[in-house]
Amino acid sequence: MFFRVVNRKHGQSQYRYLHLVESYRDPAKAGRPRQRLIHSFGNIAHISEDQRRRLVSSLSRALGLEVSSPELTTLDTRHFGDLLALRSLWEELELPAQISRLTAARKVNFDLELIAFVMVAHRLIDPGSKLALTRWLPTAYLQDYDLDAIQVQHCYRALDLLDEIAPEIEEGLFLRLSNLFERELSLVFYDLTSSYFEGDGPTDAAYGYSRDRRPDQKQIVIGLAVDRRGLPITHLTFPGNRTDQKTLDDAVAHLKERFQIVRTIFVADGGVMSEANIEHLTSSGYQHLIALPKKRARARELAAGIEWTMDDAVGENVMARTVTCADTPGIKYLVCYNPQRAEQEAQIRDARLGKVTDALEGLQRQVTAGRLKDRDKILASAVGTLARLRARRYFEVSSAADGQFEFRLRQETVASQAHLDGYYFLQTDATELEACEILDAYKTLQRVEHAFRELKDTIQLRPIYHYDDARVRGHVFVCMLAYLLARLLELRLEAAGRPLSARAALEALEPVRVARNRLDGRIIDCVVQCRPPDADAVLRALGLLPLPVAIES
């Protein structure tokens, strides 16, 4: 037996078929040699190289011939599962089509949409600088995309372009998210953060109130408006010295003019709301719901004389009572008390006071021992300790002369603070809201603030190293898109009955990698099929199972 290639012509086309044939002598033809077909393997053009290799290998083994094993070398492993999940969310938001449409008329010599996605994914998986991103790319795998072509200058240029088209993208996302969810905008939650710079930063960089506890560094202020699910509506950037209250005008203008949100209840921390801001909200057709800071005199007035009863219970460990005041018509206050929270606040304060007392006693010992004598230096050290530990209100320090130091705990201040342990106060002009609705809105604000802080740590918004205002805004926008993908991932997991934080979900997907192999000169990428249970849960929630097994490059 032997193989034979047979040429056949059909019309103008020529075909080649692979046959297995054998020779024999035909007795009817006086023993003349003839050939007969044993098996046809079909058109050679339809037999892949891999099938040919397997056929030869199988025949060799069947005949007991020595078969040389193909040389297989694993070159590396690459991120796959986490990128696959984030890419599916990115495409669900229709961002590829939107970015491509917005940049169609621009002369861009790189794939802006791909680079935008990679920068966003990098923020969530392994955040770092743009140079660090290009070093990370060889560890990442995205099927059908050439990540090796991305250069660091493309990333910088992409930030400039993203800043230009960010308003249109935000408006497109607003419509898309409204289609994906039954978006309810009767409540809009507003949160602020700051991000500092290494170096002088751009023109918007300025010294101001630092939420990063880096008052020594210039910063910018960032505002974020989200719906009750925590999905972003819009974000804003402000100079670093902009006060919280002065950010509100721009936020309201964005909501009304760009997103046509005509009526809503604006939920924010009390630090954002001055009397002037509340008046401005009212004139804009918006209502407000704020957490009233404890330090305000109104808070102490509200807490005075309240005797809680079982009728005030509105939830586990929470008491609440609605109060109105004659001097603020049209305003409703909700006084809330949580005994568990009271205990926690007392423990935190006691621990802080103990730490401060130890530090001041240490300073006192230095002065007594004569190691610190100058009065100005003694007081400077004491005041610095109080500022660092945020305890100025609780202690009185004095140094009558060089080599002397005294301090005293202000017991009256401690008692005044302890009186309000466990209390929090909510204020609203949406008087139609029931107590439970007001409390739910406040809890949602706390969740949004917590999620924003958590994701700020995950995406590492700060510090910022750029020195151009547009590029800084582009960087912030990338971080906001990362926040959106993370929150959308969490919502998809909640809907699937497997609630996980974005960080936990991406960590679960980290072992789902692609192994890059070289086999007889060919590159074959194999998806690692051994996955932890949480990884399967995440992939299943996003509709990404089953995964491919092997992909030949």
Dump pLDDT digits (tens) for 262-305: 889 999 887 787 788 888 888 888 999 998 888 888 888 898 87
Which residue in 201, 265, 227, 174 sits closest to 475, CA to CA? 201
CB atoms within 10 A of CB 497: 8
> Tokens in use for 44?
């050679």
Percent of the chain surpassing pLDDT 90 = 46
Mean pLDDT (the chain, rounded): 88
368 confidence band (pLDDT: 50, 70, 90) = very high
Q: What is the mean pLDDT of residues 85-105?
A: 95
Output Rg (C-alpha) for the chain, integer angstroms.
34
Q: Tokens 């929630």, residue?
A: 541
Full DSSP string of 178-228: HHHTT---SEEEEEEEEEEBSSS-STT-B----TTS-TTS-EEEEEEEE-T
pLDDT at 68: 62
Q: What pLDDT does 386 receive?
A: 94
Cα–Cα distance for residue pair 179/430, rounded to 1 Å: 28
pLDDT at 378 over 90: yes
Contacts of 441 (CB under 8 A, 6+ apart): 187, 265, 267, 289, 433
- The gap from C-alpha 462 to its chain's centroid, in whole angstroms, comes to 13
**Under DSSP, is residue 498 helix (H, G, I), strand (E, B) or coil?**
coil
* pLDDT tier at 511, thresholds 50, 70, 90: very high
Whole-number Å distance between alpha carbons of 391 and 356: 7
Work out the pLDDT band at 371, boundaries 50, 70, 90. Answer: very high
Smallest CA-to-CA distance from 466 within 476, 453, 452 is with 476
Mean pLDDT of 221-243: 90
Q: Are 537 and 498 in contact (CB under 8 A)?
A: yes
- Evaluate if residue 329 carries a pLDDT over 70: yes
Q: Would you place residue 39 in the very low, low, confident or very high pLDDT band (cuts 50, 70, 90)?
A: confident
Place of tokens 């204020």: 427
Q: Are 110 and 97 in contact (CB under 8 A)?
A: no
Which of 508, 512, 484, 485 has its CA nearest to residue 498? 508
Q: Is residue 11's pLDDT more than 80?
A: no
* Tokens 């930030």 -> residue: 159
State residue 92's pLDDT score: 97
Q: What is the pLDDT of residue 278?
A: 85
Task: Specify the residue for token string 């339809």.
Answer: 46
Cα 8 from Cα 333, distance rounded (Å): 91
pLDDT for the residue 105: 84
Query: What's the whole-model pTM score?
Result: 0.78
Token match 């169609």: residue?
Answer: 104
C-alpha separations of 429 from 170, 334, 338 in Å: 30, 11, 24
Contact 174, 259 (CB under 8 A): yes
CA distance 210 to 200: 15
Is residue 195 within 8 Å of 207, Cβ to Cβ? no
- The residue ranking higher by pLDDT, 256 or 4, is 256
- Contact (CB, 8 A) for 288 and 428: yes
Q: What type of residue sits at position 198?
A: E
pLDDT band at 159 (very low <50, low <70, confident <90, very high): very high
The fold adopted by the segment(s) 181-338+422-467 is Transposase Inhibitor Protein From Tn5; Chain A, domain 1 (3.90.350)
Task: Name residue 21's beta-bridge partners.
Answer: 2, 37
For residue 61, name the pLDDT band (cuts at 50, 70, 90): confident
Higher pLDDT, 307 or 344: 344
Place of tokens 């330090």: 295
